[in-house]
Amino acid sequence: MTSPQDRATSDRRLADEQIEARLGRVLRIGVVASTGMLSVGLLLTLALGAGQVPALLLTLGLVLLMMTPVARVAASVVEYGRRRDWTFTVLTAIVLAELIAGVVAALVFHRRL
């Protein structure tokens, strides 16, 4: 027979695995989408030469690739909040705020450097 403590540990482990699976899905979707945009943009550039549409696809693919880890952190905030794990929710929200502050600072100050 399993003790209540063993069952709680098992439930916690299952919840951790579910969170990791969801977060892995976010990363996979971001990488696949960015790879698709980059591939189509590259093929259009090779087939048609430089143009607005290929350049836009290449730019969007790179931006999406760079934002994929940020999306994972945002999904982590949601997942930890759903789980009511407030310590990790707050810590992950702080990391997300720092990432957003870095993006905003880059957009605001990029011409001044």
Q: Which two tokens stand for residue 4?
A: 């209540």
Residues 2-44: tens digit of each pLDDT? 676 667 677 778 778 888 888 889 999 999 999 999 999 999 9
Report how far residue 17's alpha carbon sits from residue 46's, in angstroms, rounded to the nearest whole number.
Answer: 43
In the chain, % of residues over pLDDT 90: 58
- Say how many domains are in the chain: 1
Give residue 100's domain range. Answer: 4-109
Q: Which residue has the higher pLDDT, 59 or 113?
A: 59
Residue 6 CA, chain-centre distance (Å), reads: 33
pLDDT of residue 12: 77
